[in-house]
Homo-oligomer: A and B are copies of this chain.
Amino acid sequence: MTSRPAMPTRPLRADARRNYLRLLVEARAAVSEHGTQASLEDIARRADVGIGTLYRHFPTRQALLEAVLRDRFDTLGARAEELLSHPSPGQALAAWLRTFIVGATTYTGLAASLAAALHDEQSELHASCHGMRAAGQALFDRAQRSGAIRPDADATDVFILANAIAWAAEQVHDRTGLDDRLLSLALDGLHPQTVHTGARQSRLRGPDQIS
């Protein structure tokens, strides 16, 4: 997982390159201040650049977000690879999920943008977070093989649930430690216990026939 530089693929004219970097700097500031729905016009204005220039470099909001988040995804992917050598596969996965959730909570709307990207395969964000997801999946698989995670659990489900937890934590402002508590619930649900599968079936199927 080599960290890609936050630069476009092709060489640029000097002024274009300068504008690109300015836009990226201001986009980071605006997104961290106003979330992923930050005003594009505002970003262009703060970068001392016409709005058309912003669109030239970043045709969609997703493209701009991708550039802003690229480092973060790479870091998370690298972290997952590091954790592959951690002695406890279960602890390693839990630690990574926690890091993921904390990261997804830093920007307002990030969890929603991630969910949208996961769903839209054409999105730049989708491609960009693929490496991170693959690394997380490897971590999950190892934990599952080691017996720390129950065999019927699915990595993508867990990824989605972690993102949902980040979303929930973002919405409710005053409940400190909410993400930790919710992640605990999710992790405990992932722990293999014969009683779980049994309980789950009876709890879900049984009561539907009541009313």
Residues of A whose CB lies within 8 Å of any CB of B are: 79, 82-83, 86, 88, 90-92, 94-95, 98, 112, 115-116, 118-119, 153-154, 156-158, 160-161, 163-165, 167-168, 171-173, 175, 178, 180-191, 193, 195-196, 199-200, 202-204, 206-208, 210-211
Does A206 contact B88, Cβ atoms closer than 8 Å? yes
A185 interface neighbour in B116, B118, B186, B210, Cβ under 8 Å: B186
19 interchain pairs, CB-CB under 8 A: A83-B210, A88-B206, A91-B206, A94-B203, A94-B204, A95-B204, A95-B207, A98-B204, A98-B207, A157-B182, A160-B175, A167-B167, A185-B185, A185-B190, A187-B189, A187-B200, A187-B203, A188-B190, A191-B196
Among residues of B, the one whose C-beta sits closest to the C-beta of A114 is: B171
Does A160 contact B182, Cβ atoms closer than 8 Å? yes
Does B86 contact A207, Cβ atoms closer than 8 Å? yes
Does A82 contact B211, Cβ atoms closer than 8 Å? yes
Copies in the complex: 2
Q: CA A119 – CA B178 in complex, angstroms?
A: 14
Set of chain B residues within 8 Å of A181, measured between Cβ atoms: 154, 157
Does B193 contact A178, Cβ atoms closer than 8 Å? no
Does B211 contact A91, Cβ atoms closer than 8 Å? no
Set of chain B residues within 8 Å of A94, measured between Cβ atoms: 203-204, 207
Among residues of B, the one whose C-beta sits closest to the C-beta of A193 is: B193
Given contacts A82-B211, A157-B178, A160-B178, contact A188 B171 (CB under 8 A): no
Q: CA A83 – CA B184 in complex, angstroms?
A: 27
Does A195 contact B199, Cβ atoms closer than 8 Å? no
